[in-house]
Amino acid sequence: MNRKSTRLLIPLLSILSALVVSTLIIFMAGRDPLMIFQKMFHATFGSAYGAGQVLFRMTTLIFVALAVALPFQVRLFNIGAEGQLQMGAFAAAMTGAMLPAWVPSPASIPLCIMSAMAAGAGWALFAGVLKVRFGVNEVIGTIMLNFIAQGITGYLLTWHFAIPSTVHTAPITDAAVIPAFDTLTGWFANSPANLSTLLAIGIALLFRILLFSSRFGYEMRAVGLQPDAARYGGINAGMHTLTAMGIGGAAAGLGAANIVLGYRHFYEAGMTGGVGFAGIAVALLAGAHPLWILLSALFFGVLEYGGLTINAWIPKDIFMIIEALTIILVIAFSALGRRLG
């Protein structure tokens, strides 16, 4: 079996195995697994609203998974997408709230997006500098930066920028709002799905070109595969480490386009909901490949929203188990494949 077939087979086996185990758990909980999965499928894809909810969740997951996938190419494990997303969301919300009403949408939306990207990239670069300059493990660095990001945004929100008697900032200007599909086309009626989904797909395609169709991507992957050989060949490993972290952080910050500009229209406490950590699972299931991330994010989006829709029959935690089992099995099957290979 060739390498490409193995890379495809491992995620499929992992998903199927996780579904089998979860089916047994549902059965032991006294419910009919077939009925549960039918209701979940109907709720997610049987209505325009359900499909829109899945699309909305999928969009943010694409951004944060890409934030993990790019550094992974240079063998960096970016656990900081949650903090980078928080910083990006806060920056986008504050930029959108402070923009004058006369600034038109063609300028307002890009300004908010660039603000989110800059905040996410800057936060990720902290971990990159600690790695390159001081040898601090990026896992430790990004985890600690997650806590710091939570503290900074919480402090700024609570003490400086929250509207009195609320836990959110002032709303962004109308010109900075990314239109919903429902508003423009009537698709996904009443759901939060918006045009930032197209941006997410475009960024995934751009990452695919960057990694596999450019000299820069070739050098980046060379650093990840054989860092000593790459240095001998004149490739600056430190530069690629910083670049991968910076671009990854910018991708995480872009999640604000979906959450802040496309849906909530302000920043509030807890609005990211741990989605940055879910993005790690999405990236691992996709083997850190930008295009496979699209399908992986769709799968996790279905599980996240589907779990909520059938909560009256079975705890939604069952579907969190499916997510966790899938990733554990991906790791296990990958290790087994390397051993057998």
CB of 196 closer than 8 Å to CB of 262: yes
pLDDT recorded at residue 20? 85
Residues whose CB falls within 8 Å of the CB of residue 340, separated by 6 or more in sequence, listed in order: none
Tokens of 139: 């896992």
Task: Check pLDDT > 80 for residue 8.
Answer: no
Q: Where are the alpha helices (DSSP H) in 73-137?
A: 81-98, 105-134
Tokens of 21: 């185990």
Determine the average pLDDT of the residues in 141-160.
96
Compute CA distances 93 → 146, 157, 172, 208, 261, whole Å. 19, 11, 6, 29, 8
pLDDT recorded at residue 309? 84
pLDDT recorded at residue 43? 86
Q: What percent of the chain has pLDDT over 70?
A: 96
Task: Check pLDDT > 60 for residue 2.
Answer: no
With bands split at pLDDT 50, 70 and 90, how would you rate the model's confidence at 245?
very high
Q: Mean pLDDT in the chain?
A: 90
More confident residue, 271 or 14: 271
Determine the average pLDDT of the residues in 70-77.
92
> Distance of alpha carbon 198 from its chain centroid, rounded?
15
User: pTM above 0.85?
Assistant: yes
Q: Tell me the per-residue pLDDT of 179-200, one tens digit each, with 9 for 90 and over.
A: 999 999 999 999 999 999 999 9
pLDDT recorded at residue 337? 66
